Amino acid sequence: MNPIRMVDLVTQYEKIKPEIDTAIAGVINSATFIKGTEIQDFERDLAAYLQVKHVIACANGTDALQIAMMALGLQPGDEVITACFTYVATAEAIALLKLKPVLVDVDPYTFNLDIEEVRKAITSKTKAIVPVHLFGQCADMESLLKLAEEHHLFVIEDCAQTLGAEYTFSDGRKAKAGAMGTIGATSFFPSKNLGCFGDGGALMTNHDLLATKIRSIANHGQSKQYVHDEVGVNSRLDTIQAAILNVKLKSLDGYGISRNRAAKYYDVAFSNHQNIRIPARSSFSTHVFHQYTIQLIDTHREELKAYLESEGIPSMIYYPIPLHQQKAYCQEGSYPVTKALCHCVLSLPMHTELEEEQLNYITNKILGFFENKINSNK
């Protein structure tokens, strides 16, 4: 059996090596490292895939979030509502612009924004909501978009973990993660579902004027060469990364299928287990399983984690400390669900290359751990 990794980018690369190597060599041979034609190709193809009008590539997902909020003209002191249970980048981009991150609790089953909590957090200063589609599944966008419309709020989708997931509205209309809000922001960090070989990110929007503004802000606030109408940033996707992404985009749906196959294997092994709650699937969104995250019930997580480690099975805790308890993002208020999740979640190996033999080994070791516990308590 091959060694088990949290994410296996080596095997994934080996399967598309000739195509990737040719793409990289093409950029090197033309020396168009910045602003090469591969970038436009990628923006066009990703837009077609997401069925969104504009995709603007940038340097990373955190930049994408920041540029989105700059393009919307948010001003210091404006409140932006986001999830308490997320990766720090979401709140960081808000705080960096001197906006006020207002953290709200999440749903204990899907890990995504609790819409009622969002509703309660809206004040006269609220300008935007940033739903994070966590672990590979869309937040309840229909309710969220409705709420945002009622209160005239922007919606910035953080789809860094969910590129490729599809949402179905109650009227049957379908849309991809990132294509539903005012702006979508994503990351191509190597371990994301669509990852490049370094850092990368993108924004998407259906609004022409916003797209122009985003493009300008990402390029030093430049409207024409050497004409700077506003303060921008320098946030570019390298041509080599775009060339790699052009190859990998063709596999994104296939990668989703592989991840779902692994998730299904875990689901079957762990469903109805008294100590394990498997990740819930919403009725309105497909799941692309950026992470397969279980919740442990009446279990010493550290003990299980250490045991798995000793058996050659990596696992990770996403996320161990709630954002509201981080020094930089300290907030009053109680977040019972987030707090509970931070104590009981465990993410298992999840990637596109997991083999049945590995899944069998992982699930047997986990189930065995609990059986031994029961026996030793008898």
Ligand X SMILES: *Cc1c(COP(=O)(O)O)cnc(C)c1O
**What backbone torsions phi and psi does residue 45 show, to the nearest 5 degrees?**
-70, -35
Size of the site for ligand X (CB under 6 A): 15
Report the alpha-carbon distance of residue 212 to residue 345 in Å, rounded: 41
Report the alpha-carbon distance of residue 137 to residue 284 in Å, rounded: 9
| Residue 12 near residue 365 (C-beta atoms within 8 A) | no
Q: Which residue in the set 23, 27, 49, 61 belongs to the binding site for ligand X (CB under 6 A)?
A: 61
Report the alpha-carbon distance of residue 266 to residue 133 in Å, rounded: 21
Nearer to ligand X, 62 or 216 (CB): 62
Q: Which residue in the set 39, 84, 113, 132 belongs to the binding site for ligand X (CB under 6 A)?
A: 132
Select the span of 9-17, 82-90, 228-236, 292-300 touching ligand X (CB under 6 A).
82-90
Nearer to ligand X, 62 or 137 (CB): 62
Q: Binders of ligand X among 240-279, rule CB under 6 A?
A: none
Select the span of 57-65, 147-155, 250-258, 259-267 touching ligand X (CB under 6 A).
57-65
Report the alpha-carbon distance of residue 189 to residue 199 in Å, rounded: 5
Asked if 189 touches ligand X (CB under 6 A), the answer is yes
Report the alpha-carbon distance of residue 45 to residue 163 in Å, rounded: 14
Q: Which residue in the set 62, 193, 275, 299 belongs to the binding site for ligand X (CB under 6 A)?
A: 62
| Residue 338 near residue 326 (C-beta atoms within 8 A) | no
Provide the 3-class DSSP secondary structure of residue 226: coil
Asked if 183 touches ligand X (CB under 6 A), the answer is no
Nearest residue to ligand X by CB is: 61
Asked if 289 touches ligand X (CB under 6 A), the answer is no
Q: Binders of ligand X among 192-221, rule CB under 6 A?
A: 199, 201
Asked if 187 touches ligand X (CB under 6 A), the answer is yes
Report the alpha-carbon distance of residue 182 to residue 152 in Å, rounded: 11
Select the span of 86-94, 204-212, 216-224, 345-353 touching ligand X (CB under 6 A).
86-94
Report the alpha-carbon distance of residue 30 to residue 357 in Å, rounded: 44
Reply yes or no: is the peptide bond before residue 329 cis, omega within 30 of 0.
Answer: no
State the residues that interact with ligand X by CB under 6 A. Answer: 60-62, 86-87, 89-90, 132, 158, 160-161, 187, 189, 199, 201
